[in-house]
Amino acid sequence: MPYIPHTPNEVKEMLRVIGADSINDLFDEIPQELRTDISAIPLGKSEMAVQRQLSEKSNIDGTPLCFAGGGAYEHHIPAALWQVATRGEFYSAYTPYQAEASQGTLQVIYEFQSMIASLMAMDVSNASLYDGASGLAEAVLMAVRANRKAKSKRILMPKSVSPVYRQVVETIVKNQGITLDLIDFELTTGSMDPLSVKNQFNNDEAFAALVIPQPNYFGSLEEVHQLTDWAHEQGGLVITQVNPIAMSLLEAPGNWGKNGADIAVGEAQPLGIPLSSGGPYIGFIACKQKLVRQLPGRIVGRTVDLDGKPGFSLTLQAREQHIRRSKATSNICTNQGLMATAVTMYLSFLGTDGMQKVAASCVANTQKLMALLEESSVIQFPFGKTVFHEFVVALDVPVELVLERLAEEDIVGGINLCLQQTNQQAADEHKNHLLICVTETKTEEELQFFSNTLINICSDISSQSSSEGEQK
Amino acid sequence: MSKRIVEQNADTLIFELSDQTRRSTSLAPDIDVNEVCLELPDHLQRKKTLELPQVGELQVLRHYTRLSQKNFSIDTHFYPLGSCTMKYNPRVCNTLAQLPGFTSRHPMAHASMSQGVMSCLFDLQTMLKEATGMKQVSLTPMAGAQGEFAGVAMIRAYHDNNNDTQRSEIIVPDAAHGTNPATAVMCGYKVKEIPTNEHGDIDIEALEKIIGPQTAGIMLTNPSTLGVFERKIKLIADMIHKAGGLLYYDGANLNAILGKVKPGDMGFDVIHMNLHKTFSTPHGGGGPGSGPIGVSERLQPFVPVPIVGHSDKKGYYWITEEELPLSIGRLSAWMGNVGILLRAYIYALLLGRDGMERVADFATLNANYLLKRLMAADFEMAFPERRASHEFILTLRKEMKEYGTSAMDFAKRLLDYGFHAPTTYFPLLVPECFLIEPTETESRADLDAFVETLIKIREEAEQSPDLLKGAPFELPVRRLDDVKAARELDLNFYYSEA
């Protein structure tokens, strides 16, 4: 029997000890009329058969050339990383409730917290959250709890934050009466203009926090220092949603403006987690020391044992659901332990030097692709080219058609921004906008190939539709 | 685990192995960082040096390998942590979920390039529907607690959609998981607790008294967190439905009834499943979890998106807000923890219906065997007259009274003998308790060894209680100072409060 070691004799002997005639007798407290079967599920298969079936399914999707980002990024993952991360002692352990039997996991999380805090230039980090999107929702809830002075449930949310992130935040916070007021981006840069933000919201009613993405969803850079100082002057906290790879070159949230941002969240998937269709990923959340008691989720602290020897344990548990129940800071129980383990190893394998080189390589490759695409007249850069590793192009043909054609060439060509919008006005703003991402994984040849293919497909569609127009 | 091995690097943090002048990595591209930085606006660049460890590849690998050896895990130890279902995670599930076609797929890849993985998710939806008796399944919640959130948010959306807005309360048993009341509050509800009677069933009279037009719903686990099947579940469902409320099923204990009885048949309107429990995806040191939800017909319009649909013409496609305008929305940027869903799917294929029924059979056999053997050895059970489900509660209040040794002391001494401790002090209403869940994948020999060890520890408690109170002795560290941990916060190697 798969995964069940009992011999027939053992079963017999165990039933004798229990005083039951059959295993079925052990279910005698379940009302008979509720007993059922699951006959529509197929019978079990051998490992060999399942392996064949899954290999076929995996082959259908293949391994296309990928230029999509938008919150999920392809980076090189050190070969050693998942070999160690999937060791049974990490893979099949649980939340470190028994600290003495979980020092491995606990120390890894302490190191994770230290590295995330360092990367964000923040004081403290938690042990991770589900993903970047739900992490942003937790940051919003945290800011509303923490900013008692503002007495406001209003959050200023730029449209330059990922539309799917905004949808997730909406889903999670709407039942608590929190409102998201949208901030426009400049149509020439794709990022917020601090002056317009001031004009729009100065001396307006109070807000709990301003969200600032860096780089933002369009790859553009925000004027983080000015925006941070403005929000603080208005009595709001600053929540930042940032790409961790970028933070090795771009100024980190803790150093923004005069006093630094208050809460930094983001998606740590770029740090050693494969794309995997969007999950499991890992959200991170770091903050100033004064906000530590408002953090959601698990936190690991360094302490000493009975002999005075250093060790690690879960701490500040009085915030959490298993102690506080209905008064907890969040209902979160699990973090993303295995992913946090992988991220910690990624940052250790790469180090400061490696991280900066990966980030620089992303920037350099992105600039190269933009230069190649610029040669074509059919491709425009509506938001300019001051970006990290993503940029928006405007095509003169429908993006969906282009992506379908690229798919035929086994290329994931980017993200159709128009399709992602939830209302017509936003969709119009992004008509024919394609979001493209380039990381360190791309070679010169691949950049050239993608550029040629994209330009050719655009011209092709364009000439087809104009000849169709002539025929009419 | 040998104590001697882990002692060698007992206190080293990765940061202490670092030297900022070390350059040994072949893992990053060779590039002139300063030159590239000219492309970025100067005032937005990082000014203060980033401090990450600079360590050689072998030294990093060795550091984390050795850290792993300080963990108890299913692969190395019996891990009877009640309510967590710590069963074997078949390695093939991990291997196949890491096939390149799965790991390299971008979440926004065109559906035409995603038919393989989408077919897996569609089949998983179908199997989970059948296993639970629900009408529709959404796979997006990323953990049990997020599944709970989705469930209660759907209950709220349902009432709101009926303009039935005076419903403000969610009923939760006093023995429930802490996530239940915390979730109800996140969805804007007040929590009403109901007591449990001396047999471990819900106190029906108490329930009757608090049900009313203000009742939005009830959150239940069945078998309950007390390790027994709630026998009056149909009656409870009728009472709640009659009052216009809905029933939420916490799927934490689904392992006990897989293939035997379905939450849908018990009258539940919405459920979540913990795939890292019942469907054996890795616990990973505390996640990633995965908490798909299932709904009855009346909640179908509200399920979180996306879900996977199929038609002969379109093949597999994403069902989004466009088709489900009343959906509570999105819970993750894309499709939840797909890599975990794949592992659960592979596990479900391997087991099939015959294997799934065996899960409940042997999980229940192991639990009842362990219960009877411990009873025969004179340990006290919380509900001795009841059949155990897949787990049961032992109380050490007698040992506490006679020897002064607490459940925590027993737990720590168990670690010395190479057993992970059961869940301690949960549920809160049984004093000095162990919630013990052996799971179906443990052999009789391991169960027997656990019984013998508990007997031995009780002898120690009688003869030299300090052996328990000082335990553990054989692990990398002895008992930790939690008070110091909370009072003198040290959460970050690089930061100290000035």
Q: Which two tokens stand for residue B280?
A: 């054996």
**A12, A30, A352: which to substitute to probe chain B, counting the most B Cβ within 10 Å?**
A30
Residue range B373-378: average pLDDT? Answer: 98
What pLDDT was estimated at residue A468? 73
Q: What are phi and psi of A59, to 5 degrees?
A: -70, -30
User: Residue B306, preceding bond cis, omega within 30 degrees?
Assistant: yes
My answer on whether B128 and B30 are in the same domain is no
In this structure, is residue B450 part of a structural domain?
A: yes
Q: Any residues with CB less than 8 A from the CB of A61 and at least 6 apart, and which?
A: B101, B102, B105, B109, B113, B114, B115, B116, B117
Strand partners, B480: A305
Q: Is the CB of residue A8 less than 8 Å away from at least one CB of chain B? A: no
Q: Is the CB of residue A195 less than 8 Å away from at least one CB of chain B? A: no
Determine the Cα angle at B112 with ends B106 and B118, to 5°.
65
From B350, B366, B393, give the residue that closes a domain: B350
Range of the domain at B221: 93-350
Rounded distance between C-alpha atoms, residue A355 and residue A361, angstroms: 10
Determine the Cα angle at B126 with ends B120 and B127, to 5°.
90
Q: Any residues with CB less than 8 A from the CB of B21 and at least 6 apart, and which?
A: B54
From B350, B374, B404, give the residue that closes a domain: B350
Asked whether the beta carbons of B300 and B314 are under 8 A apart, the reply is no
| DSSP per-residue letters across B186-234 | HTT-EEEEE-B-TTSSB-HHHHHHH-STTEEEEEE-SS-TTSS--TTHH
Distance from CA of B104 to the nearest CA of A (A): 5
In this structure, is residue B153 part of a structural domain?
A: yes
Q: Which CATH number is A351-461 given?
A: 3.90.1150.10
In this structure, is residue B79 part of a structural domain?
A: no
Rounded distance between C-alpha atoms, residue B344 and residue B340, angstroms: 6
What's the complex ipTM?
0.96
My answer on whether B111 and B252 are in the same domain is yes
pLDDT above 90 for A208: yes
Residue-wise pLDDT tens digits, A180-190: 999 999 999 99
Q: Is the CB of residue B354 less than 8 Å away from at least one CB of chain A? A: yes
My answer on whether B299 and B377 are in the same domain is no
Nearest Cβ partner for B492 among A60, A114, A354: A114
- Cβ distance A248 to B46 less than 8 Å, yes or no, reads yes
Asked whether the beta carbons of B121 and B334 are under 8 A apart, the reply is no
Residue range A431-446: average pLDDT? Answer: 96
pLDDT above 70 for B1: no
Which of the two residues, B349 and A150, has the higher pLDDT score? Answer: B349
Question: Hey, is A310 helix, strand or coil?
Answer: strand
**Percent over 90 (pLDDT), chain A:** 87
Which residue, A250, A326, A330, A237, is CA-closest to A287? A237
My answer on whether B309 and B419 are in the same domain is no
Rounded distance between C-alpha atoms, residue A165 and residue A242, angstroms: 12
Strand partners, A284: A266
H helices of A19-46, in order, are none
From B13, B34, B68, give the residue that closes a domain: B68
Q: Of chain B residues 141-200, which have a CB less than 8 A from chain A?
A: 142-146, 148-149, 153, 156, 177-179, 181-188, 191
Strand partners, A158: A183
Nearest Cβ partner for B67 among A43, A62, A108: A108
Residue-wise pLDDT tens digits, B278-302: 999 999 999 899 999 999 999 999 9
Helices (H) and strands (E) in chain A, counts: 14, 14
Question: Hey, is B156 helix, strand or coil?
Answer: helix
In this structure, is residue B205 part of a structural domain?
A: yes
Q: Of chain B residues 255-314, which have a CB less than 8 A from chain A?
A: 257-262, 265-266, 276, 282-290, 304
- Greatest Cα-to-Cα distance within chain A, rounded to the nearest angstrom: 88
| DSSP per-residue letters across A149-207 | TTT--EEEEETTS-HHHHHHHHHHHGGGT-EEEEE---TTTSS--HHHHHHHHTTSS--
What pLDDT was estimated at residue A68? 98
Residue-wise pLDDT tens digits, A92-131: 999 999 999 999 999 999 999 999 999 999 999 999 999 9
Q: With contacts defined as CB-CB under 8 Å, which chain B residues touch A359?
A: 33
Q: What is the DSSP-derived secondary structure letter of residue B106?
A: -
Which residue, B234, B224, B237, is CA-closest to B195? B224
My answer on whether B379 and B303 are in the same domain is no
CATH number at residue B271: 3.40.640.10
Q: Look at strands B246-251 and B215-220 and give their pairing.
A: parallel
My answer on whether B335 and B361 are in the same domain is no
Residue-wise pLDDT tens digits, A43-100: 999 999 999 999 999 999 999 999 999 999 999 999 999 999 999 999 999 999 999 9
What pLDDT was estimated at residue A471? 59
Angstrom CA distances, B381 to B57, B86, B223, B326, stand at 52, 22, 17, 47
pLDDT above 50 for B2: no
Q: Where are the domains of chain A?
A: 80-344, 351-461
User: Does the pTM of the predicted model rise above 0.80?
Assistant: yes
What pLDDT was estimated at residue B5? 44
My answer on whether B360 and B323 are in the same domain is no
Rounded distance between C-alpha atoms, residue A376 and residue B383, angstroms: 77
In this structure, is residue B7 part of a structural domain?
A: yes
Asked whether the beta carbons of B493 and B15 are under 8 A apart, the reply is yes
What pLDDT was estimated at residue A333? 74
Q: Any residues with CB less than 8 A from the CB of A30 and at least 6 apart, and which?
A: B229, B231, B257, B260, B261
Angstrom CA distances, B88 to A292, A338, A440, A459, B81, stand at 36, 17, 38, 56, 13
In this structure, is residue B84 part of a structural domain?
A: no
Distance from CA of B459 to the nearest CA of A (A): 23
Q: Any residues with CB less than 8 A from the CB of B115 and at least 6 apart, and which?
A: A60, A61, B315, B316
My answer on whether B180 and B320 are in the same domain is yes
What pLDDT was estimated at residue A384? 95
Rounded distance between C-alpha atoms, residue B241 and residue B213, angstroms: 11
Q: With contacts defined as CB-CB under 8 Å, which chain B residues touch A85?
A: 64
Residue-wise pLDDT tens digits, A159-169: 999 999 999 99
Residue range A173-200: average pLDDT? Answer: 94
Q: Which two tokens stand for residue A245?
A: 């790879």
CATH number at residue B359: 3.90.1150.10
Q: Is the CB of residue A77 less than 8 Å away from at least one CB of chain B? A: no
- Cβ distance A2 to B351 less than 8 Å, yes or no, reads yes
Count of beta carbons in the 10 Å neighbourhood of residue A397: 19
Q: What are phi and psi of A12, to 5 degrees?
A: -60, -45
Which one of 3.40.50.800, 3.40.30.10, 3.50.50.60, 3.40.640.10 gives the CATH number of domain A80-344? 3.40.640.10
In this structure, is residue B212 part of a structural domain?
A: yes
Mean pLDDT check: name the lowest of A460-469, B106-115, B131-140: A460-469
Which residue of chain A comes nearest to B177, CA vs CA? A322
- Cβ distance B13 to A367 less than 8 Å, yes or no, reads no
- Cβ distance A125 to B43 less than 8 Å, yes or no, reads no
* Number of structural domains chain B divides into: 3
Mean pLDDT, chain B, rounded, equals 94
- Cβ distance A361 to B28 less than 8 Å, yes or no, reads yes
Count of beta carbons in the 10 Å neighbourhood of residue A206: 14
Mean pLDDT, chain A, rounded, equals 94
Residue-wise pLDDT tens digits, A371-415: 999 998 889 999 999 999 999 999 999 999 999 999 999 999 999
Asked whether the beta carbons of B393 and B434 are under 8 A apart, the reply is yes
In this structure, is residue B85 part of a structural domain?
A: no
- Cβ distance B288 to A17 less than 8 Å, yes or no, reads no
